[in-house]
Chain A
Amino acid sequence: MNNWSKQLLISFLIFTLVPFSALGQEEEGFPFPTFLYTLKNGLKVVLSEDFSLPLVSVVVAYHVGSLYEKPGKAGLAYLLENLMFQGSRNVGRMQHISFIQRTGGTLNAATIEDRTIFYQTVPSNQLALVLWLESDRMKSLEISFSKVEQAKEALIQEIHHRQEIDPYLASSLFFDQLLYPDFSHNHPVFGQEEDIRNITVSDVKKFYTSYYIPNNAVLTIVGHINKRKTLQLVQKYFSSIPKGKEITPPVVVSPQLQKKIIKTFSNSLASLPAFYLGYQIAPPASPDYYPLRIIEYVLLRGQTSRLYKRLITRQRIAYDLKGNIEQRRELAALKIFVISSNDIMLTRSEKAVLSEINKLKSSLVSDDELIKAKNMFKMDYINQYATYLDRAIFLAENMLHHNNLDNLSTELKKYMAVGSSEIIGIMHRYFAQGQVLLKVKLK
């Protein structure tokens, strides 16, 4: 009997003889049931049953993204994401897409700084098909010279397209370089043209074999499933994929912006002046992150947020306003971007933004305003698991961040417990000396 036959027999015995509860961990206290299990090769599996609709969503999330790229190879993670649709040992080029679409399902993938996620939703009777497809490309992706060259060309075209449609792209990339301290954190996920041209087949193969391994991945399955049967399928398709080498995560940097950085960027593409303002803040692992997210909502979320009301509705000094908290693995930043119709309006906008930030340092947010910010946050938080797919992504991301789901039952409560006085302290801690201001001037 060869190895895989033995493995199958063992799996079969395990699943028929061992009580189900002994196989993994049932998580409690959350609005939906979850069940956590780890295969011998290190693949973490999360299941969540929901029988409302005959659908199932499957997510495979790898703990790798642009942060793991070496200087000179920017774009490698995103390139590999694209290659994952170009065929594996038993699945032809683009067949993954056509198999899913034929069932009436939907699919996509996304790469960000610290993760790459592949996802699909199909009628629940097609679960095995998805596991077959996902396991095939995890086990035996076919990486050839012609496929890599094609993917490189497509990626370069995409960069050109991005440059054409976004006149502020170059300035936003420059802003990231000022705000984040090193290459790993401050280069774009979609890469850089000259780096992409230099990527070789061997680079791609090395990246694939280093990171697209079961012990660096999470598989989440949400929907109309039978847990026992689903775990049997997961065993069948994934357990024989060999464990990869342990991964050394990228070096953690701890940059502290101690001073104000003010720079100017000359832009020949944009037709209106703009500025970026950024602050380095605590990452999600920190208890400070909870009040920081509520501050984000007070300042920037919705049409009655402080900055929107002041810059757009009341004073009409800004043409466009965007901003959010952004997270890049162990670093996080609050970024604000304002476009005004002329330099005078832009200067007024800049003063108004800084004045609103200062106000939060000196006076308490009223109860009504705090409730509004928290309710808007709560709505967004809940909507993270509105559909089966949303839930599957939500669970996968939580697993990647925390390596467990222990925090799920208490997470929202921590945001809801943020108080006004806490906000003042946090504002002084993170919105003091260190800030980056980049002004975009028209050429």
Chain B
Amino acid sequence: MRFSNKILLMLSILFFCLGSYLLFPQERFRQSPPYPEPLQELKLPEIAEAVLSNGLKIAVIRYDNLPIVTLRLVILTGESASSPKLPGTATLTANMLKHGTLTLSAIDFEEKIESMGGNLTISTYPDYSMITLNLLEDYLDQGLYILSRMLLQPSFSKREVENAKRSLYYELIKKNSNSEQVAKKVLSLLLFKDHPYQKSVLNQDIIKNIKRENLLAFFQKYYRPNNAQLILTGNLNLNTATRKVSRYLNSWSKKEVKLPLVPASHPNSKLKICFVDMPQQKAAIIYMGNIISPLNSSNYFPLLVLNQVLGGTPGSRLFMNLRESKEYAYYAFSQIELFKICGLFYIRAKIRPEVVYPSVMEILSEINKISKEKMPSFEIEQAKSYLIGNFPLKIETHDLLSLRLAQIKAFQLGPEHWSKYYQNLMLIDADRVFDLAQKYPLLTPVVIIVGNGNIIIDHLRNFDEVGIYNNKGILQYSIRKESSNETR
């Protein structure tokens, strides 16, 4: 009797498998991933708050893991309050605070900070500015003293104003050589055209025109205790913190602050493709997005889930499609940026230049998909599980914790962004995400492509129309598909 070849083959496979098992046995638990234990409760640190007689709001988070204190002062006015002719005034005013005081030269001031093991960072956003001082906890009093000198006796000397302007000028020049920063800059310029938020995109040529008087005027007007919030994190309680802050900052004088009204911003209503030429770049960068408004808490949480499914991490749809499946991209992510009156939702991707057209079309098709089809429940649950699991990592350090609180204060966000974060996320389902995807103008973004024109320009002719811009966001000319004509 003869075995057929098929049976012989099956038997060999069986013997091979059995042989492998006998030779290399393994415990059964190794064959599949273990189930998780029940999720442990996140106990958020308490925020204790007080207001000084001059109107300065204080928030304290007790955090005693390390002998470090973080002092974060939020001035509730940002770049959108700069004069329309002098964008950059808010940034330079804030930056001046690290350029010494009436009694300490800039270098002596820096010495004092480093002597406390400290570091000082200053950052300005469209809606607020932040001064952050990290130091060893033994130096809390000295740290508060330094902060008080910055606010009560800033130098604003002519020489230091020039130094600050020069530093900012070179910083901006440097940013112009980074294709991702150029793409983000032009996207913001075009989306916030004629809106106060456009002022937060600084122009190095205008920085030169800002004078010491402009900075002093801005400082006098907005750097007031009743327009500020001080956040302290470290091993201290509200009573101690209030007593110490009051000792150093009670003489900071109050004055009525009239904040300029920031009007509503209007989303882009028609797909707009723009190109910025940066000849040295090997890869092409795509930044595309739109203004989303209003961004209240009922929209915010479904948006978090939508963002996570679409492009929050490497496991999300954009990355899996553009990088893993199509091999167009080095990366592709989506992101949410918060402002006081709206949000910005955008996608950023780094791609091979020759696939610029299919990449943009593929991203649009992914966006189209989320506005046409409800997301499957398992994807929604996976996204929620990621966001819930990841949240504690966002508040793990002094710095992160106080940064989150600063944003909550600056944007006047409610408890849903802090103590009710988990509950709000748990309530999100596919219907709410789908409603949101239809409500927001995601399919009519401004698309910015940055890269080497010599390689990309021919591929751009696949689009109906492309505006060619310089890196200051000014239209130079357009190219159209039909005739490939250039229109100046």
Contacts and interface: CB of A to CB of B under 8 A. Distances in A.
Interface of A: 2, 4, 8, 31-32, 50, 52-55, 89-90, 97-99, 101-106, 121-129, 132-133, 135-136, 139-140, 164, 224, 236, 240, 302-304, 309, 313, 368, 371-372, 375-376, 378-379, 382-383, 385-388
B38 A125 contact: yes
Nearest to A314: B107
B382 interface: yes
A101 B136 contact: no
Contact of A382 (B66, B282, B315, B391): B66
B34 A128 contact: yes
Interface string B31-49: 1111011111110000000
B17 to A, nearest CB: 14
A33 B375 CA distance: 45
A375 B136 contact: yes
A375 to B, nearest CB: 4
Interface in B67-96: 67-68
Residue of A2, A376, A379 contacting most chain B CB atoms (<10 Å): A379
A231 to B, nearest CB: 16
A136 B389 CA distance: 23
Contact of B37 (A128, A309, A372): A128
B41 to A, nearest CB: 7
B278 to A, nearest CB: 15
B155 interface: no
Given A54-B42, A132-B30, 14 more contacts: A31-B66, A32-B65, A53-B392, A54-B40, A90-B31, A101-B386, A123-B39, A126-B36, A129-B34, A140-B24, A379-B68, A382-B67, A386-B65, A387-B396
Nearest to A386: B397
A376 B114 contact: yes
A136 B26 CA distance: 10
Interface stretch (B2-10, B115-123, B191-199, B363-371): B115-123
B42 A122 contact: no
Contact of B393 (A89, A106, A140): A106
A55 B36 contact: no
Nearest to B400: A387
Contacts of A382: 66-68, 136
A257 B135 CA distance: 39
B229 interface: no
B313 A54 contact: no
B388 A101 contact: no
A372 B142 CA distance: 14
A90 B389 contact: no
B428 to A, nearest CB: 15
A229 to B, nearest CB: 9
B29 A309 contact: no
A304 B111 contact: yes
Contacts of B412: none
Interface string B372-394: 00000000001001111111110
Please tell me the size bucket of the interface on B: 35 or more
A125 B33 contact: no
A8 B30 CA distance: 13
Contacts of A125: 36-40
A104 B382 contact: no
B389 to A, nearest CB: 2
Contacts of B382: 102
B390 A104 contact: yes
B258 to A, nearest CB: 37
B26 A104 contact: no
B65 A105 contact: no
Given A55-B392, A382-B66, A386-B397, A375 B42 contact: no
B115 A102 contact: no
A236 B26 CA distance: 12
Q: Which 9 A-B pairs have the closest CB atoms?
A: A104-B389, A104-B390, A379-B117, A375-B117, A54-B40, A128-B34, A125-B37, A123-B389, A372-B115
A371 B27 CA distance: 57
Contacts of A132: 29-30, 33-34
A105 B389 contact: yes
Contacts of B385: 102-104
Contacts of B395: 53
6 contacts: A102-B386, A104-B386, A104-B387, A125-B37, A125-B40, A236-B29
B354 interface: no
B415 interface: no
Interface string B116-146: 1111000000000000001110010000000
B358 to A, nearest CB: 22
Contacts of A127: 37
A128 B137 CA distance: 37
Contacts of A371: 115
B37 A99 contact: no
Contacts of A136: 30
A53 B43 CA distance: 7
Nearest to B324: A94
B379 to A, nearest CB: 11
B42 A53 contact: yes
A129 B33 contact: yes
Interface string B10-30: 000000000000001111011
B386 A140 contact: no
B114 A101 contact: no
B323 to A, nearest CB: 12
A22 to B, nearest CB: 26
Residue of A123, A135, A139, A376 contacting most chain B CB atoms (<10 Å): A123
A303 B114 contact: yes
Interface string B412-431: 00000000000000000000
B110 interface: yes
Nearest to A309: B107
B40 A224 contact: yes
B314 interface: yes
A351 to B, nearest CB: 22
Contacts of B389: 103-105, 122-123, 126
A158 B50 CA distance: 53
Contacts of A240: 27
Given A104-B391, A309-B107, A4 B27 contact: yes
A388 B29 CA distance: 28
A105 B25 CA distance: 31
